[in-house]
């Protein structure tokens, strides 16, 4: 196991030197209640706007008003709720094997 640990450490150093370290997915979590509230609101509103806009445009294009609008409204709502759930759910911890 010592060779593997050594290799991973050298690999980590090489990636850091070359600037290849990936930033954490999803960005950092806010550090205060206002930050959580603002981010949760933006997540819900942006998902709804995308869903409503996409549904409206597809309905106009296909002439199916209001069915696709309603479907994408529901999908946008679900996406917003899922994003807020991910914001407040605890992060999985990396296993140290």
Interatomic CA distance for residues 70 and 72, integer angstroms: 6
Query: Could you tell me how many residues make up the chain?
Result: 97
Model confidence pLDDT, tens digit, residues 42-59: 999 999 999 999 999 999
The pLDDT value given to residue 56 = 97
> At 31, which helix (H) or strand (E)?
none
Reduce the DSSP state of residue 35 to 3 states and report it: helix
The model's confidence at residue 27, banded by pLDDT at 50, 70 and 90, is low
Radius of gyration of the chain, Cα coordinates, nearest whole angstrom: 21
Max mean pLDDT among 3-12, 18-27, 58-67 falls in 58-67
pLDDT in tens, 68-79: 999 999 999 999
Mean pLDDT of the chain, nearest integer: 85
């Amino acid at each position: 196991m010592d060779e593997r640990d050594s290799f991973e450490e050298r690999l980590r150093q090489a990636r850091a030197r070359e600037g290849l370290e990936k930033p954490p997915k999803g960005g950092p979590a806010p550090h205060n209640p206002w930050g959580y509230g603002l981010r949760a609101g933006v997540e819900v509103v942006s998902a709804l706007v995308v869903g409503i806009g996409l549904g409206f445009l597809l309905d106009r294009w296909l002439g199916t008003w209001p069915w696709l609008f309603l479907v994408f409204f529901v999908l946008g709502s679900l996406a917003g709720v899922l994003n807020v759930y991910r914001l407040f759910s605890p992060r999985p911890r990396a296993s140290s094997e």
